[in-house]
């Protein structure tokens, strides 16, 4: 069963901020929120991750609500190259001390309009 819920698609105008929502109401205390994106016919690319606090890097910002039941990925100035499927993933990644991979949901297809 999917741990996250995302809208299947979104549009955003080039140059504007793209805000991608994700619901993860059953998240547990040791689970992180990860965001990846996949540009057509390429491998997924890591964007950002967080546990409780908001995070920012050179690609994006991640805003996690205080109850951790939802989050928003913000691309501050979207370009045409940001058109991709964006995956929000909740996982502890290292359950049992080993690597167990990430489970991808259906994601949001973000289309940046010129």
User: Which residues form the interface with another protein (CB under 8 A)?
Assistant: 32, 34, 36, 38, 41-46, 49, 87, 91, 93-94, 97-107
Please provide residue 101's backbone torsions phi and psi, each rounded to the nearest 5 degrees.
Answer: 75, 180
Minimum CB distance to another protein smaller for 23 or for 38:
38
Minimum Å distance from CB 28 to another protein?
15
**Shortest Å, Cβ 20 to another protein:** 15
Q: Is 71 in contact with 63 (CB distance < 8 Å)?
A: yes
- Distance of alpha carbon 107 from alpha carbon 114, whole angstroms: 22
CA distance 40 to 62: 23
Nearer to another protein, 33 or 75 (CB): 33
């Amino acid at each position: 069963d999917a741990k996250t819920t995302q809208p299947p698609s979104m549009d955003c105008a080039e140059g504007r901020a793209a805000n991608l929502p994700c619901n993860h109401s059953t998240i547990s205390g040791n689970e992180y929120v990860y965001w990846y994106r996949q540009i057509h016919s390429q491998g997924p690319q890591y964007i950002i991750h967080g546990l409780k606090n908001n995070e920012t890097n050179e690609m994006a910002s991640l805003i996690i609500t205080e109850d951790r039941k939802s989050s928003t990925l913000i691309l501050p100035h979207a370009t045409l190259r940001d058109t991709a499927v964006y995956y929000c993933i909740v996982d502890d990644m290292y359950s049992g001390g080993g690597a167990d991979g990430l489970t991808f949901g259906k994601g949001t297809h973000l289309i940046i309009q010129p």
